[in-house]
Amino acid sequence: MHLTESSPDMFYLSALIAILGAIGYQYFVKLVPVTLNPLVSIIATYLLVLALCFGFLLFIPIEGGFAKHIRQLSWIQGALALSVFLIELGFLLMYRYGWNLSTANLITGVIINLALLGLGIVLLGEKVSPLNMLGIALSIAGVTLIGYRP
């Protein structure tokens, strides 16, 4: 498998992998015992992620060698690591402090997607159609209704 090649199969498979990962992530992070320190949980999780990555290297070879790719690392991996850490810690704390599995990711997801929409428009020059705007309005209305607590 070449992860750098584009194909219709990888287009859909990549989405399926992300969806399954996000579903599993939200479900399993909700099950982390409240007595377990969130930082210890994150450390253990990423030690296992590291082991999985090295294991998958046996099946998905690195074209050009490991050193070639190490040289391409930059500040972006540090920013990504901080972002992932904040996601992990944030959701662990959200569930610990009373958020429901059925609404936590949905509410934060819509807010995140609205922020990404703004970043896409402002920083990347992406375009939004009138139909997209209608969808955005419906999303905001939906989150308002989902998050409402009488």
- The string of DSSP letters for 112-127 reads HHHHHHHHHHHHH---
Q: Could you tell me which of 91, 67, 87, 68 has the C-alpha nearest to residue 79?
A: 87
**Res 79 pLDDT > 90:** yes
User: What was the pLDDT predicted at 3?
Assistant: 61
Single-letter amino acid code for the residue at 54: F
Per-residue pLDDT band at 87 (split at 50, 70, 90): very high
**Res 130 pLDDT > 90:** yes
Determine how many CB atoms are found less than 10 A away from the CB of residue 128: 13
CA atoms within 13 A on the CB side of 51: 6
Residues 6+ apart with CB under 8 A from 83: none
133, containing H or E segment: helix 130-147
**Res 142 pLDDT > 80:** yes
User: What was the pLDDT predicted at 10?
Assistant: 85
Quote the CA–CA distance of 103 and 24 in Å, as a whole number.
15
